[in-house]
Amino acid sequence: SFGGPTVTKDGVTVSKEVDLEDPFENMGAKLVNEVASKTSDLAGDGTTTATVLARAIFREGTRNVAAGSNPMAVRRGIEKAVAAAVDCLMQMAKKVVRPEEIAQVGAISANNDHSIGDLLAEALQRVGKDGVITVEEGKTTETTVRFVDGMQFDKGFVSPYFVNKPAEMVCQLDDALILIHEKKISNLRDLLPLLEKVAQSGKPLLIIAEDVDGDALTALVVNKLRGVLSICASKAPGFGDRRKAMLGDIAMLTGGTLISEDLGIKLESLDLSHLGRAKKITVDKSETTIVQGAGKQSDVHARVLQLRTQIEGTESEYDREKLQERLAKLTGGVAIVSVGAGTEAEMKQKKARVEDALHATRAAVEEGIVPGGGVALLRCREAVEKARSQAKGDEKIGVDIVLHSLEAPIRQIAENGGIDGAVVADEVAGKDINIGYDANKGEYVDMLKAGIIDPVKVVRVALTNAASIAGLMLTTQALVTNLDKEDAKKHRVEGSVR
């Protein structure tokens, strides 16, 4: 790849960079990359575990298929075994309640960086499970978290002339009125009656609209500079239907009315009852923050319930993310983690670690935790053995493949620590349910007490995705690819037809 080197321990980042010369081999590599990518999308972590499991299942499977086993029956057996293992994992899961447990999950995912774990635990405690935590590149070497009170959206003032605190380059309005308009405001004549009413009230005014320009903007700036009105204009957030929905959220939060064409309310006929209100508004060049809106709690609560229903009903990951952001803004839960580092290479690596840890902590809060270090999968062997009795013919071989593959992660962890994986797996299998191998210290410990824990969602998704792709590869009979002129000159791939 271009640019400086990427330093990582993340499975999906590594697998994305694998690009093999041979087109047939590359197809296999891309399928394994799919395991890691899908696991990353659904759980945000566990990509290396998923890759290790996929390799173990596929390797055992190809041996058996080559020896004459029915590949479809083997695949069915794999699916039955995985279903039994997933049930076992869900029963084993322990709910995460204490901040220390959240911090431990984050630290494990961030390569044993406890400062990141503590930071994310603090953020999750503050914003709650519906809150939004965003990760951005910081401007110092220190990693920090800051919280946004109230509703914030990423649009700032239309003109710098609205700034009333030059030292901070912000416009701050206290106990202000808010006009929420869906369309562009250009004509001063339409706006004038409302401005006169606002001037009589003596309160500051924030105008949120698609845009404010022409005579209207000129008049607002002149009145602001002369001290006639304390006023600011900001562009509306989002685009299209999403903009309308976000403006509706702001109207609900501030007790105002969204002035849109659908309602048939004209700008010149507005009075103060159509305007929203807020205790404090801060507008800078790129963001607007509204604190303590005057909307009814019952209305806001109804909107929150509506958003939760939409989140559950949507199948689009992008839509879910945007709805989640809207929900967080309504409930006042937004945290921003600024990642600090000394160099750009360190920044990239650290930011990726923080994002992994964030996904892992969210997954832990969502579905609970299990002992880490590959122990949870090893403990599922008993449940898989029971499933074997219900398998028929070559399905039993598929069950046995999963049975052996459940050892793969703990073996790999031990081998990475320079110890024989088979010995460690055998030793742990004979011990208590929470006992596992701490590769850092080289000793057997209670994984939950030692803080070596995995979110059950991460382990579950890693296993199901690994089995899915491995099963697909086992039942594939032929590969079809394009060969360019360069490929044609190279050595012929064994078994291929041109």
Average pLDDT across each block of 10 residues of the chain; the chain has 498 residues. List them in order: 65 78 83 83 80 92 92 94 95 86 81 85 80 82 83 88 89 93 88 89 92 89 88 89 89 89 80 90 89 85 88 85 82 81 85 85 86 92 90 91 93 90 91 89 88 88 92 86 68 59
| Interatomic CA distance for residues 277 and 363, integer angstroms | 37
Comparing C-alpha atoms, which of 367, 401, 362 is closest to residue 86? 367
Report yes or no on 305 lying in a domain: no
CA distances from 181 to 161, 186, 260, 330 (A): 21, 12, 6, 19
**159 and 143 in one domain?**
no
Asked if 426 contacts 432 with a C-beta cutoff of 8 angstroms, the reply is no
Give the phi and the psi of residue 255 in degrees, each rounded to 5: 75, 20
Quick one: pLDDT at residue 1?
A: 47
Q: Does residue 410 share a domain with residue 345?
A: no
Among 316, 341, 367, the domain-final residue is 367
| Residue 6: DSSP 8-state | P
Reference 469, options 405, 415, 419, 420; nearest CA is 405
Could you tell me which of 243, 241, 224, 240 has the C-alpha nearest to residue 232? Answer: 224
Burial class (CB in 10 A: 0-12, 13-18, 19+), 344: exposed
Residue 102 falls inside a structural domain: no
Q: Are residues 285 and 355 in the same domain?
A: no
To the nearest 10°, the Cα dihedral for 443, 447, 449, 451? 100
Nearest-angstrom CA–CA distance, 338 and 146: 8
Q: Do residues 250 and 290 both lie within one domain?
A: yes
Residue 135's pLDDT is 86
207 in the same domain as 230: yes
Helix or strand holding residue 41 (H, E): helix 23-43
Are residue 166 and residue 269 in the same domain, yes or no?
Answer: yes
Residue 236 has what DSSP assignment?
Answer: P
218, 206: one domain: yes
The per-residue pLDDT for 396 is 93
- At 289 the pLDDT is 87
Q: Is 114 exposed, middle or buried (0-12, 13-18, 19+ CB in 10 A)?
A: middle
Do residue 235 and residue 340 come from a single domain?
no
8 Å CB contact between 100 and 108: no
Pair of tokens at residue 330: 């309504």
Query: pLDDT at position 401, please?
Result: 94
- What DSSP character marks residue 269? G
Residues 389 and 357 in one domain: no
Using DSSP's 3-state secondary structure scheme, residue 119 falls into helix
Count other C-beta atoms under 10 Å from residue 418's C-beta. 8
What letter represents residue 247's amino acid?
L
Q: Is residue 265 part of a domain?
A: yes
Distances (CA, A) of 275 to 256, 257, 407: 5, 6, 63
CB-side neighbour CA atoms (13 Å) of 12: 20
Q: Does residue 307 belong to any structural domain of this protein?
A: no
Query: Do both 126 and 195 map to the same domain?
Result: no
* CATH number of 408's domain: 1.10.560.10
Q: Which helix (H) or strand (E) holds 62?
A: helix 47-66
CATH code of the domain in which 209 resides: 3.50.7.10
Structure tokens, 302: 């109804």
Residues spanned by the domain of 381: 11-94+370-474
Residue 301 placed within a domain:
no
Strand, helix or coil for residue 228: coil
Both 338 and 393 in one domain: the answer is no
CA distance from start to end of the chain? 31
Residue 30 lies in a domain: yes
Instruction: Please compute Rg for the chain using Cα positions.
Output: 29
Query: Whole-angstrom Cα distance, residue 354 to residue 19?
Result: 27
Give the number of residues written for the chain: 498
Judge whether 101 and 454 are in contact, CB under 8 Å: no
Please state whether beta strands 288-293 and 151-153 pair in parallel, antiparallel, or not at all (unpaired): antiparallel
Number of folded domains in the chain? 3
DSSP 3-state percent helix, strand, coil across the chain (nearest 5): 55, 15, 30
List of residues 6+ apart from 313 with CB closer than 8 A: none
Tell me the C-alpha distance between 43 and 45, whole Å.
6
Q: What CATH number is given to the structural domain containing 137?
A: 3.30.260.10
In a domain, 458, yes or no: yes
Within a domain: residue 419? yes
414 and 361 within one domain: no
